[in-house]
Structure 1
Amino acid sequence: MGLATTLAAGLLAGCAAGGPHADKIAANARAELGSGHADKAVALAEKAVLSDPRNGAYRLLLGNSYLRAGRFESARQAYDEAMELGEDSGKAALSLALAEIGMGRSNEAVDTLNSYRDAIPVEDYGLALALAGRTGEGIELMGNALRTSGTNPKIRQNLAFALALHGEWKEARVMASFDVPADQLDARIQQWAAIGNPEDVRRRVASLIGAPVREDAGQPTALALANFPETAQLADAAAAKAETPKAGNAGAAPTLAKAAVEELPALDTAPAPRVADASTQPRAAQLAMIDAPAAKAAPVAVIQPQARPYRIAAAAPRPSARPVAKPVAMSAAKPAVRPTAATGTHLVQLGAFSTSDGAHRAWRHFTSRNPALAGYRNVTTQVTVNGRRFWRVQAAGFVGQASAATLCRSVKARGGACLVMAAPRVAPPQQGRPADTRLARLR
């Protein structure tokens, strides 16, 4: 049996229960990350995730470790899955955006930044925009913030770097001179010039956070969150397959058994090729001005979902006390149940979560990852499966199975998971009761 297979089997067998053992592994990973040993942190964080696959804090730690190791593709997936599980602080969103910028996915990074704008400090938000190619916007934001705050070294240095990225070298030098000693100023400007090529975004982001520059094949498939669905997701997948056989293949959730036979790449094999290693430079020469992921997981800010306003229907008029002289003939046939464009015929389920807050945060994350979802209604429904409560997050308003399946494919193409389900068919409320004609006949 190969080393990778042995490792995967051993981890799944020995750590599947999670608990204190997983916490200890995660603590060791944080310690290695704090000591600058990113590759060791990655190995430990992967074990912690396999020990407790639906623990968002462990996946956030894994994303931090991948990012510090220069593995941007892996970091993006780890952050994406951590945020789906509720770890959606501003720092997590900023780190996700940095990984996306390093991959060359600037438009997606801007979407992420805009979705979490209020949770990211302006100096980090502005520089991240500049790194994503929106230098003008970043300069304007940080310039306004600097005028408001007066003296803020971090805003000045981030603004100076953004000016350099924008090609305004004279202004960049003046701004940098406020905080960089005169004998180090030339070296700082030369550093910025070395990573100023807009096409070499991977090197630029790696230099900024002090990570090595390397190619990355992505997170091991055995770690994917889709391999570890909640009980409610498994039940929904079975129900969807029973209700819509044709759409069943698109919505079937992977099982844990699949993860048990997946191979993890050997952790002691030769690392991916490194072009350069910015982390070997002196600490003063590094450009780590953006708050990089902390070695210890910071407490996540809980974002309370805003209650939707409810419209109160006007009270129905009272029936007249005078008897009706002539009964109105009404058809006894029940109105046909037809789905409307507002309700649709199908739903796309994006996940099932153990808390209501997690479900509401997940919808915001899903829409930032796939803007097409913004055109559909968010339906969050509480269900009980095997005695446990879950909150389903669904997109509603699809008329026809084909349109729902198309969106589901786009979600999967971005690394997500989904189910296509038939929408519940609800009869429209009756406008009034037919008059009772028996009394009229007796008169």
Structure 2
Amino acid sequence: MTIAQDSKNDRKAAMRPHSLRLARICVTTALAAGLLTGCAAGGPNHAKFASSAETALGKGSLEKAVALAEQAVLASPRTASYRTLLGSAYLRAGRFEAAHQAFDEAMQLGEDSGKAALSLALADIALGRGTDAVDTLNTYRDSIPASDYGLAMAMAGQTQTGIAALTDALRNGENTPKVRQNLAYAYALDGSWSEAKLMAQQDVPADKLGERLQTWAFMARPEDTRRRVATLLGAPANVDGGQPTALALANFPAPQQLAEEAVAMSATQQAASGDAAELAKAAATAMPAAPVDAAAPQPVLADASSAPVSAKIAAIDVAPSAVAEPAAAPVYAPAQGMVSHAVVQPVRAARTIQASAPAAVRGDHVVQLGSFSSQEGAQRAWRHFTARNRSLAGTRSQITQVSVNGRPFWRVQAVGFNGFASARQMCQSVKAKGGVCLVMAEPAMVSPQGRPTPTRMAQR
């Protein structure tokens, strides 16, 4: 056999684990769903499953909608709209853990609508993850109707922010029963019962007002987040184990990811082979070869509100829009993060979690886009910012964990700007599209005199 043939066989061997891995995934997911499907492409009619799931969801047949949406996802696992549909079905069924997973994975695949973000926030509120919900709501603020944003913020624990948003909506002409009742409920969650009663009585009959306020008082208890969201949606308050493991997005890597893993594995194997050869050479040089006992084993290198009225005046619309046909998912930067904590406070123990820019090409200024309570929220926000601002999508990203008053936060920055002027220009582009940002000196860069470059803030 020639050296070329040996090399070719080695490459095939390097790829084989990935082929086997993908084959195992197909078999596992097919058995889990009781379907004889191909993996993604060759299976049953995924569009038909999705359409039937939407119809069932519209009729309130929630179990049927969930089952059909799961089949659609299984048949085409990297279609974002199918996972969004599945998340809506889970949410309406009161399966909040599963809904969180489905919406998060849909957004990883490129879903970037305010409706999906609102639904994810509601699932997080139900799970007691109010700070994560606030991050999501702030990131997608301009994509979510004020009536829904205000109520969701109040339910997430930011009652004053929610009241302010709903009051502004009323002043700006959205004087509708939904806005008024959402504002009344936000007042109730804030403990401002006089204001809640005054606002609620504009639309609730006098003989029903007491019952409404009692229901709100019951739902306002901080520990009842699951019941609060379930009542708003008219859903059962279930405790859920999450979506089936076989549906997890991690089971269905993109072809590009598989190719990158194959290249990485090949490089690792080559490095290992080279290291082994060097070790053998060094050992042979250091001492004479000892006779080998053929009998001895040889060493081997180890390789809103109350349920009856929520549909009319305080219902957040979580039903999906028409399901789109599968499309090529957009490709985003490897690192993925609104300034939910606009005040920059002294920080300690900063460390870069994820960066797509080598230190040598980061430049001397960065554009900070936000600070988030979780790395997951930071990555989601980066994807959103780059999806809406193509000039930002052409920059490199950096996510850094910092500690502010003992609490961890993840800062999202666009890096690689040489000079304050270029960074400020990008920041102005972000603001023009509704975002907020700060221009800062890159902490790793220092002046020729050895002093850190002073931090600067773009003019607002």
Q: Shorter-chain-normalised TM-score: which range?
A: 0.5 to 0.7
1:297 aligns with 2:322: yes
Structure 1 residue identity aligned to 2:167: G
Taking only the aligned residue pairs, the percentage that are identical comes to 54
User: 1-side partners of 2:197 and 2:270: how far apart?
Assistant: 63
Query: Where do 5+ consecutive residues of structure 2 fail to align?
Result: 1-27, 273-303, 332-356, 363-370, 388-392, 402-460
Higher alpha-carbon deviation: 75-84 or 289-298: 289-298
Shift in CA distance, 56/158, structure 1 to aligned 2, threshold 3 Å: same
Residues 274-309 of structure 1 show CA distances to partners (whole Å, capped at 9, x for unaligned) of xxxx99x97447687242322543779xxx99xxxx
Please give the alpha-carbon distance, in whole angstroms, between the structure 2 residues aligned to 1:73 and 1:238.
33
Q: Does 1:131 align with 2:151?
A: no
Counterpart in 2 of 1:440? none
Q: Within 5 Å, give how 1:86-105 maps onto structure 2.
A: 86-105=110-129
Secondary structure, aligned partner of 1:180: coil
Q: State the alpha-carbon separation in 2 of the partners of residues 148 and 246 from structure 1.
A: 65
Decide which of 359, 383, 389 is 1:341's aligned counterpart: 359
Of stretches 177-186 and 51-60 in structure 1, the one that deviates more from structure 2 is 177-186
Q: Once the two structures are superposed, what CA deviation does each residue of 1:304-355 show, in whole Å capped at 9, x if it has no partner?
A: 99xxxxxxxxxxxxxxxxxxxxxxxxxxxxxxxxx962547xxxxxxxxxxx
State TM-score, norm by structure 2.
0.57
Name the residue aligned to 2:53: 29
SS at match of 1:211: coil
1:188 to 191, 212, 226: 212
Q: How many residues of Structure 1 are paired with residues of Structure 2 in the alignment?
A: 300
Higher relative contact order (CA 8 A, sep 6+): 1
CA shift at 1:238, angstroms? 1.7
User: How many Å separate the matches in 2 of 1:396 and 1:247?
Assistant: 29
Matches within 5 A, 1:302-321: none
Aligned to 1:115: 139
TM value normalised by structure 1: 0.59
Is 2:232–2:314's contact at 8 Å kept on the other side of the alignment?
yes
Say if 1:343 and 1:396, in contact at 8 Å, map to a contact too: no
Kindly report which structure 2 residues correspond to 1:264-413, keeping only aligned pairs within 5 A, or say none: 283-284=308-309, 289-294=314-319, 296-297=321-322, 341-343=359-361, 369-371=376-378
Cα distance, 1:10 vs structure 2 = 3.3
**What CA deviation, in whole Å up to 9, does each residue of 1:251-273 have, x standing for no partner?**
xxxxxxxxxxxxxxxxxxxxxxx
Determine the C-alpha separation between the residues in 2 that align with 1:166 and 1:379: 35
1:112 shift after superposition: 0.5
CA shift for structure 1 position 30: 1.1
Structure 2 partner of 1:160: 184
Q: Secondary structure at the match of 1:13?
A: coil
Contact 2:230 2:236 in 1 (8 A): yes
Is 1:63–1:75's contact at 8 Å kept on the other side of the alignment?
Answer: yes
Give the drift of 1:225: 1.0
Q: Of 144, 149, 160, which aligns to 2:168? A: 144
Judged with a 3 Å threshold, the aligned counterparts in structure 2 of structure 1 residues 282 and 375 are, in CA distance, closer, same or farther, namely: closer
2: CA distance between counterparts of 1:283 and 1:7?
41
Deviation at 1:18, TM superposition (A): 6.0
Instruction: Say yes or no: does 1:77 pair with 2:84.
Output: no
Structure 2 distance, partners of 1:240, 1:375, is 26
**Residue number in structure 1 paired with 2:255:** 231
Q: Deviations over 1:178-234 (max 9, x none)?
A: 111222212211111121101110000110111101111111111011111111111
Query: What is the CA-CA distance between 1:29 and the residue it aligns to?
Result: 1.1
Separation in 2 of the partners of 1:20 and 1:11?
Answer: 9
Describe the SS at the equivalent of 2:45. helix
Q: CA offsets, 1:346-374, max 9 Å, x none? A: xxxxxxxxxxxxxxxxxx99x98343798
Letter of the 1:23 partner, please give it: A
Matched residue SS, 1:149: coil
In the alignment, structure 1 segments of 5+ residues that lack a partner are: 249-277, 306-338, 345-363, 381-391, 405-443
In structure 2, relative to structure 1, the CA distance for the partners of 1:154 and 1:5 (3 Å cut) is: closer
* Residues in 2 aligned to 1:47 and 1:150: alpha-carbon distance in whole angstroms: 40
Q: Tell me, yes or no, if the aligned pair for 2:177 and 2:313 is still in contact at 8 Å.
A: no
Contact between 1:16 and 1:52, CA under 8 Å: does it hold in 2? yes
* Structure 1 Cα separation of the partners of residues 324 and 37 of structure 2: 30
CA RMSD of aligned residues (A): 4.2
Aligned twin of 1:264: none
**Which residue identity is paired with 1:76?**
H
Task: Give runs of aligned pairs for residues 217-256 of structure 1, distance below 5 A.
Answer: 217-243=241-267
Distance 1:373 1:165, change over 3 A: closer
Is the alpha carbon distance of 1:222 and 1:116 closer, same or farther for their aligned partners in structure 2, counting shifts above 3 Å? Answer: same
Q: Distance in 1 between matches of 2:110 and 2:359?
A: 31
189, 214, 239: which one aligns with 2:238: 214
Determine the C-alpha separation between the residues in 2 that align with 1:87 and 1:373.
Answer: 10
Partner of 2:77: 53
Matched residue of 1:214: which SS?
coil
Range moving further from structure 2, 186-195 or 208-217: 186-195
